[in-house]
Amino acid sequence: MPTTEGAAAARLTGSPVTGERPVSGSLTEVTLDGGRVVMVKRGDDPGALRAEAAGLRWLADAGTVRVPAVHGLDRHLLVTDRVTPGRPSVCTAVRFGRDLAALHRAGAPAFGAPPPDGPEDATIGLAPMRNVPGTDWPAWYAEHRVLPYLRAAVDGGTLRPGEAAVVEDVCERLPRLAGPAEPPARLHGDLWNGNVLWGADGQVWLIDPAAHGGHRETDLAMLHLFGCPHLGEILEGYQRTAPLADGWADRVALHQLFPLLVHTVLFGRGYGEQALAAARTALRGV
C-alpha cells in the first residue's frame, strides 16, 4: 500500500505507483507505472512549498534553464520530476552559462517581485525571506536582503553589535558600491552548487529555487561562494550571451553578503566571520 508520499504522487500525476525509495528525511523517490520517476518533497511550511512550486514554474516559463516539471502540491507535499544524475562537463557548463544569462534577461517586474502566484513571505533554505518589490536595487538590497539577517544575527548573539557596524557601513555606501544600474533579473535566488544538478541528458537542471526579481550578479556570486564545477566555463558562456558590467568581479563579496548572513542566522559564528570579511572586502570598492 502506498505511503502518504506515494498516494500524493499517484493523485497528482494520475499514474499508479509501482515503487518508493526514501532519499532523505524530506524526499521520497516514487516510481510510477510505465517507469517514470518523480520526487515527493515533504515540508512543514505550506507557504515554503507553494513558493518553491511557483518559483519552478516561473523559471520554466522563461524557456531557458532546465527545471523539473511540477506535477502539483498539497498542503505538505510537492511532487516534481526526478533529474537523472550525470557528470559535469565543459560543454554542458558553457551551455548552462548561456541559459542562465537568458534566464536573467527574461526579467522580473521589480526587485523583490515574487513569482506569479508565489507568496510574499517565502524562504531561502530554512530561513524566512520576504519578497517585497522595490525599484532601486541598492536600497532594496539593504532593506530586504541584508539588514533583516544582520539584525537576526545580532539578536541571536551570533554577531556583536559592534561588529554589525561594518555591514551597516556597506548598506549606507551601497549606491556607490553597486556598480551600474541594471534592470531586475529573473533569479533562481539560491544558486549554490547543491541546487545545480548535472543531468544524464547533458543538461544542467536547477532545483530548490528561492526565485524573485533581483540583481543578476547575486546568482553568480552564489555560484562562486560554495564552488561549482567548471565555473570558469559557466562564466564564459554567460559573458558571451550577456556581458557583465565592468567591475563585476570586485562586487562578488557584496552580493555574497546576503547568503552569508542567512547562513550566519542558520548555522552560526563561522559564517558570521565570513560575512564580516565579505563586508570589509566590499568596502574596498568605495
Q: How far apart are CA 119 and CA 77, in angstroms?
A: 17
Task: Please give the C-alpha separations between residue 24 and each of 29, 32, 38, 187, 246, in angstroms, as whole numbers.
Answer: 9, 19, 14, 27, 43
Answer with the one of 52, 81, 110 that is the final residue of a domain. Answer: 81
Picking from 82, 73, 67, the residue whose alpha carbon sits closest to that of residue 21 is: 82
**Whether residues 23 and 149 fall in one domain:** no
Neighbours of 237 (CB within 10 A): 21
Give the CA angle between residues 132, 181, 242 to the nearest 5°. Answer: 100
Give residue-wise pLDDT tens across range 5-53: 999 999 999 999 999 999 998 999 999 999 999 999 999 899 999 999 9
Report the Cα 179 to chain-centroid distance in Å.
22
> What pTM, to 2 d.p., does this model score?
0.95
Q: Which of 81, 105, 137 finishes a domain?
A: 81
pLDDT in tens, 96-112: 999 999 999 999 999 99
136 has catalytic annotation: no
Q: All 3 cell numbers of residue 57?
A: 514554474
Same domain for 157 and 248, yes or no, is: yes
74 and 198 co-located in one domain: no
Same domain, 164 and 36: no
pLDDT band at 1 (very low <50, low <70, confident <90, very high): low
Active-site annotation holder among 44, 61, 81, 190: 190
Which residue range is the domain that position 35 belongs to?
4-81
**Digit-coded pLDDT (tens) for 136-188:** 999 999 999 999 999 999 999 999 999 999 999 999 999 999 999 999 999 99
Q: 208 and 263, same structural domain?
A: yes
Count of CB atoms situated within 10 Å of the CB of 89: 15
Asked if residue 215 and residue 74 are part of one domain, the reply reads no
Number of structural domains, the chain?
A: 2
Output the domain CATH number for residue 202.
3.90.1200.10
What are the tens digits of pLDDT across the range 110-140?
999 999 999 999 999 999 999 999 999 999 9
Predicted local confidence at residue 59, as pLDDT: 98
CB atoms < 10 A from the CB of 193, how many?
14
Nearest Cα to Cα of residue 163 among 263, 284, 282, 275: 275
Among 37, 63, 81, which residue terminates a domain?
A: 81
